[in-house]
Amino acid sequence: MKFNTKWEFKEVVREFTIQEGRRMRFRKNDGKRVRAVCKVKDCKWVVYASRDYEDSCWQVKTFFNDHTCPREARNRATNRNWVAGKLVKKLRKYPNFRNCETTTYFKTKYDLSLNRNSISRALCDARNIVYGDAKEQYAMLRDYGETLLKTNPGSTVQICTKPQPSGEVIFERMYVCLTGCKSGFRAGCRPLIGLDGAFLKTVFGGQILSAVGQDANHHIYVIAWAVVEVENFENWKWFLDLLHEDLGDYKTHGWNFISDMQKVIS
């Protein structure tokens, strides 16, 4: 096996030993070679890597994967950064991931018994990474809108914000209808528009409103969408007014609408 850097090799070795439930240490670790051995005195497990003859990568030269020591439920290699790194992916998928679920997750997947305080600190770090990324992305929405308009001339992008007493503004809602989507719908889709809303599973919440059609192959065709704080009459009216401006008068073109009969759009 070959690795681009020594750091990459060391991370793979550490991940492997955690999966195996063993402890290891790096007996040699310099600019030309790395040797990792099991921490148990009489265990023969060892992996050795060094730079290849072309000095372009790190290559495993020796790997004796035969532990004579028992598996352990605790491993000091599972430090705060390692635990937080594993939790980032879980939090992106399950924003409300709790401490008790975290304990079960590591016990089930890695057969590890982690300290409760370590889990709490790592979960806090992971939330800061995930939620911080989301907050920064909301701050870049205007750049995103400008990019859409630049790459898709004729599109409609509208971003609404709410001013705060401190002088800052926070996100309220956003509408997007790309020129290709509205032109394609008018040119080749059935005159039927489906309206629906769905929850956004993020820490900031909100809902996405969508207008979709059906093409000649019976496939869903996205026309426009909007991100709003809550699905209510005001936001639906705002969304449909913009959709009406983009597609033209529904009576003139004979558009028909279908929805799930919610009161806010009835």
The model's pLDDT over 39-71, given as tens digits with 9 standing for 90+, comes to 888 888 888 888 877 767 888 888 888 887 887
Residue 72 lies in a domain: no
Residue 179 lies in a domain: yes
Model pTM score: 0.59
Residue 52 lies in a domain: yes
Residue 145 lies in a domain: no
Residue 170 lies in a domain: yes
In this structure, what DSSP letter does residue 69 have? S
Domain boundary among 64, 97, 118: 64
Q: Which residue from 125, 158, 136, 118 is spatially nearest to 239, judged by alpha carbons? A: 158
- Residue 29 pLDDT greater than 90, yes or no: no
- Provide the domain count of the chain: 3
Residue 74 lies in a domain: no
What pLDDT shows up at residue 262? 65
Type of residue found at 228: V
* Coil, helix or strand at residue 238: helix
- Asked if residue 234 and residue 193 are part of one domain, the reply reads yes
46-51 sheet: strands from edge to edge: 2-3, 58-64, 46-51, 33-38, 24-29
pLDDT digits (tens, 9 = 90+) for 197-246: 999 877 788 999 999 999 888 899 999 999 999 999 999 999 999 999 99
- Asked if residue 116 and residue 22 are part of one domain, the reply reads no
Residue 225 lies in a domain: yes
- Print the domain residue range for 9: 2-64
